[in-house]
Amino acid sequence: MPPIIRDERGRFVPLVRPKLWHTSTVKRSRDRTDQIGRARKQSKARSATTQWLSDLDRRGIYELEAYGIEWFAVEAWLDALNPQDANAARRFVKSVLDALADPATPPRARDAAYNELYRRLIAAGVVD
């Protein structure tokens, strides 16, 4: 009788073991399936970020870097979040970039937006 397999949460995992399949073959098949799943998830995240980037105003990114936050740190923070949190974070970053790019925004509002973004990046461990 084949051993009972449980996943990381302790749930039973159905084990399909066709005749003449070896344990190593089953393991390679599962590893490949996991790898494909991870690649799809990363591809979706990249696609969402790329589409979102095309909508952004480049002037806001230049202003953000002039304030001292590098854009790749913001991208790394967004990529590390799960999809629901990343969506809200993208909206937040867009509002910060809009505030920084708009010359009509008062300096106090610009500083508040910058400080909030910087605080979130520090809390996530992206910047020191």
- Whole-number percent of the chain with pLDDT over 90: 29
Same-domain pairing of 121 and 82: yes
87 domain residue, yes or no: yes
What pTM did the predictor assign? 0.59
47 domain residue, yes or no: no
2 domain residue, yes or no: yes
Q: What is the mean pLDDT of the chain?
A: 84
Residue 74: is it exposed, middle or buried by C-beta count within 10 angstroms (0-12/13-18/19+)? buried
64 domain residue, yes or no: yes
CA dist., res. 3 & res. 20, Å (int): 16
Same-domain pairing of 30 and 75: no
Domain that holds residue 2: 1-42
For the beta carbon of residue 120, count every other beta carbon within 10 angstroms.
17
* pLDDT tens sequence across 50-74: 766 666 778 888 888 998 999 999 9
Residue 77: is it exposed, middle or buried by C-beta count within 10 angstroms (0-12/13-18/19+)? buried
User: What pLDDT is stored for residue 18 in this prediction?
Assistant: 65
Q: Which residues of 91-119 are buried (b: 16+ CB within 10 A; e: fewer)?
A: eebeebbebbbeeeeeeeebeebbeebbe
What is the residue-level pLDDT of the chain in tens, covering all 128 positions? 556 677 788 887 777 666 666 777 778 888 999 999 899 988 887 777 676 666 677 888 888 899 899 999 998 898 888 878 888 898 899 899 989 888 899 999 999 999 999 999 999 888 87
Number of domains in the chain: 2
CA dist., res. 101 & res. 103, Å (int): 6
